[in-house]
Amino acid sequence: MARKTGENIKDLLFERTTGGFAFLVLFLAVLLFAVLLRESLPALRKFGAAFLVTGTWDPVLEKFGALPFIYGTVISSFLAILIALPLSVGAAIFINEFAPPWMKTPVSFLAELLAAIPSVIYGLWGIFVLVPVLRDVLMKPATKYLGWIPLFKGPVYGPSMLAAGVLLSIMIIPFILSVSREVLATVPQRQKEAVLSLGGTRWEMLRIVIGQHCIPGIFGATILGLGRALGETMAVTMVIGNRPEALLSLFQPGYSMAAVIANEFTEAVGDVHLSSLVLIGLILFTMTLAVNLAAKWILTKMVARASRGI
Amino acid sequence: MKGAVAFRRKAADRVMKWVFTLCAFLVILPLFLIFFDLVIKGGKELKLTLLIDLPHPVGEPGGGIANGIVGTVAITLLTMLWSVPTAVLCGIYLAEYGKGKFASAVRFAADTMSGVPSIIMGIFGYILLVLPMKRFSAWAGAAALSMIFIPVVVRTTEEMLRTVPTTVREAALALGIERWKATLRITVRTAWPGILTGILLAMARIIGETAPLLFTALGNQFWQTRLDQPIAAVPLQVFTYAISPYEDWHDKAWAGALVLITMVLMINIAARVLTRDKR
């Protein structure tokens, strides 16, 4: 669309107006970062890098460290990935390769619907349904017989790192699932047919094809899911137990970065407390940004490779 | 020998097929469980008074979440009032003029924002509006929610406009229509169902958001008509009731959740029907 010189004034005005709003969006993003940085400066000055590795969280003595929260966020998200990854990839394979045509749309629609449920409803369901079931069916028997393993040490209360991990896994499944389906769909049809024509079964075909084509893409999908899990607030706050200690046992209450912000922000006593909470927010922001950028980088590379037909 | 190998391979194929089927079943099972509980436990309390009454104090039977419903609608409309034009116009810029470094920066900004945890948008609203105004308000809630709404709609608007073939734009320009008119009347109108779907999906998402409202809108036990005051919202009520120690509040939480999911799903389905019609 070549433009003439001596351009129409209205056209120019239109371009400038829309451009102005584009600038506004850019400005908001910069403002967000600036605001977080400015408000976290007092805590950053006071505690420095030690903030990341300090385990105390004491509003009375004004001694703050983010370690228990970072630990809780990372472990619960990792647990969520551990559960969600195999289920999502398995379900993606089912929908793309095995499901009869009439079943594909409803099954993927239902899975997508999981992403539409508000986080607070997951939390509600977690408190009253998931946590009691996990406690009675899984955690109590497990501590009884396997309690000598540090990961499964009692006492069992219910709200715990495990509950948060399981609930998070349900919440991130739709994201990993839909990206995995896209990744599976990039495999050239002729390659699948080549394996089948040599007498391979469907499973052998999938094993070969996925091994050669889909591992980086599925890895990207997983990282994307991780980005979701790290920042999830309400559901985690409601089931993780909110105890600021980094404990090895998955059955013990923990805390997460988003949860401590949600719980203490309005009741922050004093500037250092508030600033420390904002600093946790800034760390969370940086973590999710890094994770999302990594996922995007992997997935774009994957698409580039697929379009070259390798 | 050969037969045994073939049998093993076939058996493995069968087994794996069942494993994948089981995965799909396990993935959608929680959806049914959640909806089942919502309908059973929420339906018990779903009376007319829930929708038209104010919350009652603990122990006093009855009461509703009417102020929350009104508050949620108010905050959502307030958010969209300025976020829809901002996001759509930004999307138009990116799709129609967005080739340079500036456009890439805007795209990067929108992508970054859409990945930021929603609780952080709450901090943003708090520092930017609650601290200077010295009070929680619907304005602050709307500010936090627009930070979630805008980036999503910017990117869907751009994507939808890019699906309009260049030939359509060229045909319009060839007829001598000014470019701004061609963009608004032809390109944007062609892509409009898709853009509207994006707007509705983003709306469904912010209706259910709780974390950004915790320290911006804060919540309120009473009616609030002023937008510069703390205001109730359904997700906040669900949260408060759910973590309370009272049995009758728990029932209220389920009923509130049922109302919330109904609102979210209705908008979600409307959005999907819209794109289906287009095809």
Asked if residue A1 is part of any domain, the answer here is: no
The CATH number that applies at residue A143 is 1.10.3720.10
Element (H, E) at B20: helix B2-37
Task: Work out the mean pLDDT of chain A and round it to a whole number.
Answer: 92
pLDDT band at A13 (very low <50, low <70, confident <90, very high): very high
Asked if residue A274 is part of any domain, the answer here is: yes
Rounded CA gap, A88 and B228, in Å? 44
Q: What is the mean pLDDT of residues A153-181?
A: 95
pLDDT value, residue B219: 93
Q: Chain B interface, mutation test: which of A69, A105, A117, most B Cβ atoms within 10 Å?
A: A117
**Chain B residues whose beta carbon lies within 8 Å of the beta carbon of residue A129:** 33, 37
Q: Does A112 touch chain B (CB under 8 A)?
A: no
**Chain A residues whose beta carbon lies within 8 Å of the beta carbon of residue B92:** 18
Q: Does B254 touch chain A (CB under 8 A)?
A: yes
pLDDT band at A1 (very low <50, low <70, confident <90, very high): very low
Asked if residue A23 is part of any domain, the answer here is: no
Task: Report angle CA B20, B26, B29 to the nearest 5 degrees.
Answer: 140
Angle between helices B66-96 and A9-47 (to 10 degrees): 120
* pLDDT tens string A26-70: 999 999 999 999 999 999 999 999 999 999 999 989 999 999 999
Rounded CA gap, A265 and A262, in Å? 6
Q: Does A171 touch chain B (CB under 8 A)?
A: no
Q: Does A23 touch chain B (CB under 8 A)?
A: yes
pTM of structure: 0.94
Asked if residue A180 is part of any domain, the answer here is: yes
**Min CA distance, B91 vs chain A (Å)?**
8
ipTM: 0.95
Chain position carrying tokens 């203490």: A264
Q: What is the mean pLDDT of residues A132-157?
A: 92
pLDDT band at A218 (very low <50, low <70, confident <90, very high): very high
pLDDT value, residue A8: 83
* pLDDT tens string B3-58: 788 899 999 999 999 999 999 999 999 999 999 999 999 998 888 888 988 998 88
**Chain A residues whose beta carbon lies within 8 Å of the beta carbon of residue B97:** 15, 18-19
B87 alpha carbon, distance to own chain's centre: 15
Smallest Cβ–Cβ distance between B21 and the set A14, A18, A94 belongs to A94
Smallest Cβ–Cβ distance between B117 and the set A8, A86, A288 belongs to A288
Are B79 and B140 in contact by the 8 Å Cβ rule? The answer is: no
Which segment of A119-128, A161-170, A180-189 scores lowest on mean pLDDT?
Answer: A180-189
What's the DSSP call for residue B54?
A: P
**Chain B residues whose beta carbon lies within 8 Å of the beta carbon of residue A265:** 122-123, 126, 214-215
Q: Chain B interface, mutation test: which of A27, A120, A255, most B Cβ atoms within 10 Å?
A: A120
Q: Does B6 touch chain A (CB under 8 A)?
A: no
Q: Does B46 touch chain A (CB under 8 A)?
A: no
Question: Which long-range contacts (C-beta less than 8 Å, at least 24 apart) are formed by A184-192?
Answer: A184/A92, A184/A93, A184/A96, A184/A97, A184/A210, A184/A214, A185/A96, A186/A213, A186/A214, A186/A217, A186/A302, A186/A303, A186/A306, A187/A213, A187/A214, A188/A309
Buried b or exposed e, range A115-128, using 16+ CB within 10 angstroms: bbbbbbbbbbbbbb
Encoded tokens for A141: 């028997």
Residues of chain B with pLDDT under 50: 278-279
Asked if residue A21 is part of any domain, the answer here is: no
Q: Does B179 touch chain A (CB under 8 A)?
A: yes
**Other C-beta atoms lying within 10 Å of the C-beta of residue A84:** 28
Asked if residue A20 is part of any domain, the answer here is: no
Pairwise CB contact (< 8 Å): B239 & A24: no
Asked if residue A3 is part of any domain, the answer here is: no
Nearest CA in chain A to B96: A15
**Chain A residues whose beta carbon lies within 8 Å of the beta carbon of residue B6:** none
Smallest Cβ–Cβ distance between B211 and the set A122, A227, A234 belongs to A234
Cβ-Cβ pairs closer than 8 A, A with B, add up to 263
Encoded tokens for A289: 């940004």
Question: Looking at chain B, how many residues does it have?
Answer: 279
Q: Does B168 touch chain A (CB under 8 A)?
A: no
Q: What is the mean pLDDT of residues A123-131?
A: 97
* pLDDT tens string A230-266: 999 999 999 999 999 999 999 999 999 999 999 999 9
Could you give the maximum distance between any two Cα atoms of chain A, in Å? 83
- Beta pairing partners, B218: B231
**Chain A residues whose beta carbon lies within 8 Å of the beta carbon of residue B209:** 118-119
Rounded CA gap, B31 and B28, in Å? 5
Task: Work out the mean pLDDT of chain B and round it to a whole number.
Answer: 93
Would you call A94 exposed, middle or buried from its count of C-beta atoms within 10 A (0-12, 13-18, 19+)?
Answer: buried
Rounded CA gap, A60 and A203, in Å? 60
Q: Chain B interface, mutation test: which of A122, A234, A285, A300, most B Cβ atoms within 10 Å?
A: A234
**Other C-beta atoms lying within 10 Å of the C-beta of residue A235:** 30
Q: What is the total count of domains within chain A?
A: 1
Could you tell me the residue range of the domain that residue A226 belongs to? 48-55+65-308
Q: Does A14 touch chain B (CB under 8 A)?
A: yes
Rounded CA gap, A281 and A259, in Å? 10
**Residue B98 main-chain phi, psi, to 5 deg:** -80, 80
CB hemisphere CA count around A65 (13 angstroms) = 13
Are A68 and A55 in contact by the 8 Å Cβ rule? The answer is: yes
**Chain B residues whose beta carbon lies within 8 Å of the beta carbon of residue A91:** 20, 23-24, 26-27
